[in-house]
Chains A and B, each alone.
Chain A
Amino acid sequence: MSNIILKIDNVQKSFGGLKALSDLNLEIEEGKVHAIIGPNGAGKSTMLNVCIGQLAPDSGTVTFHGENMIGKSPHEINQAGISRVFQTPEIFPDLSLLQNVMIPAFAKHEGAFKMNLLCSLSNESAIQDEACHILEDIGLTAQLHTHAGSLSRGDKRRLELAMCLVQHPKLLLLDEPTAGMARHDTNKTIELLKKIKERGMTKIIIEHDMHVVFSVADHISVLAQGTIIASGTPDDIRGNPKVQEAYLGGAHL
């Protein structure tokens, strides 16, 4: 029996009259890739927002490594070991690719605040090497010094992934990492996800593309109308008639 790294307990969240999350319960095992699937508006992104402190739930708890995360600020949650790739890429458009990756590396090494006002950036070769290394993995080295804002949408997504990976998070949250990507880019991302799977990082991945889900996930949960309606191994989910009806529209997988 492996460890539960993240536990979502009875989380509720309403926006006005709309119940985005109702009685949400979820357990994530350490070292596993856990996919969350579900129709648009099911509350998948909202769930991640609650996990990283962007939204406060109306009730319920989120426990990470045995510690309650509710009420902590986003930077504390990140420092505890959770990084997230957003549904729309959140990068630093005015900085170079290298700097984009160095910033999260600094956060990992220096903590939430450090006043190294007068040190020179060019002396930070260890951080720089680390950032270059990750960018190499992602395949973005050719453009180390270009502005991140000028990248294509697919490349921005991959850059954001690099920014998260450089932190070696205990838990990585991926919100539709292949949405809007061409087939070719999607395949590249799948390769990448498989590669980082070998490193034993726990991941939650929200994804619409079933091809991606079934090629990387160890465990799948189906979210509909703010609550988990099914959970199991990919084979369980594939054969579950309830899931096929609610989400997959009866189509055979």
Chain B
Amino acid sequence: MKSPTIKNDMFVMLIFSAIILSMPIWLKPLGAGYPDLLQKFAIFGIFAVGYNILFGLTGYLSFGHAAFLGIGSYTAVWSFKLLTMNVFPALIFSVLLSGLFAMLIGFITLRRSGIYFSILTLAFAQMFYNLAYSVLTPITNGETGLQLARGDARIIDRLFSDAGEGLPSTNFFGLEMSGYSGFYVCAVLLIIAFFISQRIFHSPFGIKLRAIKSNQTRMKYTGYNTRPYLLTAFVISGMYAGLAGGLMAATDPLAGAERMQWTASGEVVLMTILGGVGTLIGPMLGVGIIKYFENIFSSLNDQALLQAYSFMPDWLANIMVTITSPFVGEGWHLTLGALFVLIVVFLPGGIMEGVSLIKKRFSKTQANTETGKS
């Protein structure tokens, strides 16, 4: 566990950036190279990378981070309605407002740890979810969701041009937020987000967060006031979630309360654990795998399955379809659940643990062959 050098970090950053920016190229043969899905990879990547700063470093399992996703989305849409279709100010507001809410929620929930903390965060998120449907409908537009309208004020945009025909579209200083250009905006933000997370992981602050996870009692008797450390991590991860929520609205200017449902909070937990909690790249891997397979499995239906099994005799193909069809389409979540159980039981450290196991075995066999030679 040597502390990684700055040079090493730069190298990782370079590789990471190259892989992310070239996603449209290498994901094409895999059938995932289209903008919508690419944007999703980048946006959920930001969400998970931020979530990992809290869960991975401090071990505090929040079950309410979707609330910040929702706050980020609503804020962004309001910025589109009132100010401008440029996403830059919208994203700034998303990050700031979700950070503010994270500060409030964190201040209360971090009074407890373990399961009680998880339940408190879950309770807060459900509260927000319900409020969005009831008291807050003037802000959230209830079940319909918050949408753009022709009559929106858009003060800043009006200074430069009149309201045109139809709905305007979001942009980043003129760059369209839909399609590939939208993906690149998200990708650059993901790279910045990853860079910041890497700095935090390898800072004295990050190591103190790990120490809190390892033995909080010892931390207190070692002279640390642990609460502000935890709160900082909570707020940062909340801001990451807010940015992700803002980007969701930026790429598709619509905000609905379902974004804040507990299943959305659960999804980011799944992604982080699947990839590897507390590792830098793990959460991004988790996002890639879950979103990719969600995309494939959820679009399959019995017809597609029959085709896939066409090499088998008819009777066998029919049986296979009956067995597998509950796992695809709407039933994709069943597959996800099964996958999750397998990972947690056999690889509790997620995919990254698997990778390091393979690495270790490989270097061992290599060492063996070398000693064998000499």
Residues of A within 8 A of B (CB): 52, 54, 73-75, 78-79, 83-84, 90-96, 99, 102-104, 106-108, 110-122, 124, 145-147, 163, 167
Contact = CB atoms under 8 A, between A and B. Distances in A.
Contact of A122 (B200, B202, B222): B202
A164 B229 CA distance: 21
A137 B207 CA distance: 24
A122 B204 contact: no
B220 interface: yes
B232 interface: yes
Contacts of A95: 1, 207, 210-211, 214
Contact of A103 (B1, B202, B222): B222
21 contacts: A73-B225, A75-B221, A78-B220, A83-B221, A83-B222, A92-B210, A92-B215, A95-B210, A95-B211, A96-B1, A99-B1, A102-B207, A103-B222, A104-B222, A107-B222, A112-B224, A114-B204, A119-B204, A120-B9, A121-B202, A121-B206
Given A75-B224, A118-B200, A93 B205 contact: no
B211 A147 contact: no
Contact of B6 (A54, A107, A120): A120
B99 to A, nearest CB: 14
Contacts of A113: 224-225, 228-229
B267 to A, nearest CB: 27
A117 B206 CA distance: 7
Contacts of B6: 120, 122
A10 to B, nearest CB: 25
Interface of B: 1-6, 9, 196, 199-200, 202-208, 210-211, 213-215, 217-226, 228-229, 232, 236
A124 B204 contact: yes
Contact of A167 (B1, B2, B210, B223): B223
B83 to A, nearest CB: 30
Nearest to B231: A113
A104 B203 contact: no
A114 B206 CA distance: 11
A120 B207 contact: no
A124 B204 CA distance: 8
Contacts of A102: 207
Contact of B205 (A111, A115, A122): A115
Contact of A90 (B4, B218, B236): B218
A92 B221 CA distance: 12
Contacts of A145: 1-2
A117 B215 CA distance: 20
Contacts of A163: 222
Contacts of A167: 222-223
Given A102-B207, A121-B3, A145-B2, A52 B221 contact: yes
Given A75-B226, A99-B3, A117-B199, 8 more contacts: A90-B218, A92-B218, A99-B1, A99-B207, A103-B222, A114-B204, A117-B200, A118-B199
Contacts of A117: 199-200, 203, 205-206, 232, 236
Contacts of B226: 75
Contacts of B229: 113
Contact of B4 (A78, A94, A106, A122): A122
A15 B217 CA distance: 21
